Amino acid sequence: MATPHNEASFDEIARIVLMPGDPLRAKYIAEHYLSEAVCFNTVRNMLGYTGYYKGKKISVMGSGMGMASIGIYSYELFHDYDVEYILRIGSAGAYSDELQLFDMVLAESAWSESTYAKAQGGETSDVLYPSLKMNACIRKNADKLGKPLHIHRIHSSDVFYHEANVPDCEDFCKEHGCMCVEMESFALFHNAKQLGKQAACLLTISDSLITHQATSAKERETSFHEMMELALESAIALV
């Protein structure tokens, strides 16, 4: 059944969905890695595709930016479709010089100041966790493929641009143990917990809040091949 934001029919979406924030990253993955890829959603241009990777049915769909946006799309995928796993594949800003551009980070947990989880379901914790099963699978596949993986607590922030009078990356790193920042995983992990489903988050460092090095918009759309391959290999191992 279609939703207000997703026109796919029930069986058009696989049990596992890879979910970048950028719908054009989803399109790129579908066109470059999936065979027989079919676009199942164009509502609001939040592109979603289902195809096959090494013979297994996989979907990839954009989430948009921020908790509110991934909150809607992931809720519908878990609640209205037969989706068991969502693996977010995002970009992130480094809070430490231990992380370089293009390094991959697997979220061990997500700390957030966001009210999403409280507003959605009364959650009071400011730290939420991904699926242990998915993280174990991703770690195993990273080892198998020889892909270095940093495993850290991440910051799921409600804002991309902030003023100088509020806590900054040094505070988030020192006080909450967050090594990088993105904007969706806290809401995704909450929805998974709430609905009895599974979610995880793999990130590629796109910029550094310490060195101020940064990748371009095009690189964020098309160049995260290490992450795309690890996500796809992990996805087929899960279903």
Ligand X SMILES: O=P(O)(O)O[C@H]1O[C@H](CO)[C@@H](O)[C@H]1O
Ligand Y SMILES: O=c1cc[nH]c(=O)[nH]1
For residue 184, the partner it binds in ligand Y, ligand X, none, with Cβ less than 5 to 8 A by kind, is: ligand X
Binding residues (CB under 6 A) for ligand Y: these are 91-93, 157, 160, 181-183, 206-207, 209
What's the rounded Cα separation, in Å, for the pair 156 and 125? Answer: 13
Among 182, 191, 199, 202, binds ligand X (CB under 6 A): 182
Closest residue to ligand Y, based on beta-carbon distance: 93
Counting DSSP H helices and E strands in the chain, the numbers are 8, 10
Whose structure tokens read 């799309």?
73
Among 6, 8, 14, 20, binds ligand X (CB under 6 A): 20
Can residue 48 be called a binding residue for ligand X (CB under 6 A)?
A: no
Q: Which of residues 118-147 bind ligand X (CB under 6 A)?
A: none
Structure tokens at 137: 């699978």
Structure tokens at 68: 């509110």
Can residue 22 be called a binding residue for ligand X (CB under 6 A)?
A: yes
DSSP for residue 4: S
Tell me the residue length of the chain.
239
DSSP codes, 140-181 = HHHHHHT---EEEEEEE-S-SS--TTS--HHHHHHHH-EEEE
What's the rounded Cα separation, in Å, for the pair 3 and 14? Answer: 16
DSSP for residue 214: B
For residue 93, the partner it binds in ligand Y, ligand X, none, with Cβ less than 5 to 8 A by kind, is: ligand Y
Interacting span for ligand X (CB under 6 A) from 6-14, 79-87, 177-185, 228-236: 177-185
For residue 220, the partner it binds in ligand X, ligand Y, none, with Cβ less than 5 to 8 A by kind, is: ligand X
CB of 33 to ligand Y, least distance (A): 23
CB of 214 to ligand Y, least distance (A): 8
What's the rounded Cα separation, in Å, for the pair 141 and 31? Answer: 23
Residue 230 C-beta-side C-alpha neighbours within 13 Å: 33
Q: Which is nearer to ligand Y, 135 or 206 (CB)?
A: 206
Among 35, 54, 160, 167, binds ligand X (CB under 6 A): 160
For residue 130, the partner it binds in ligand Y, ligand X, none, with Cβ less than 5 to 8 A by kind, is: none
Q: Does residue 207 have an active-site annotation?
A: yes
Strands 178-182 and 104-111 come out as: unpaired
Q: Which is nearer to ligand Y, 137 or 180 (CB)?
A: 180
Active-site positions?
207
Binding footprint of ligand X on the chain (CB under 6 A): 20-22, 65, 90-91, 160, 182-184, 220
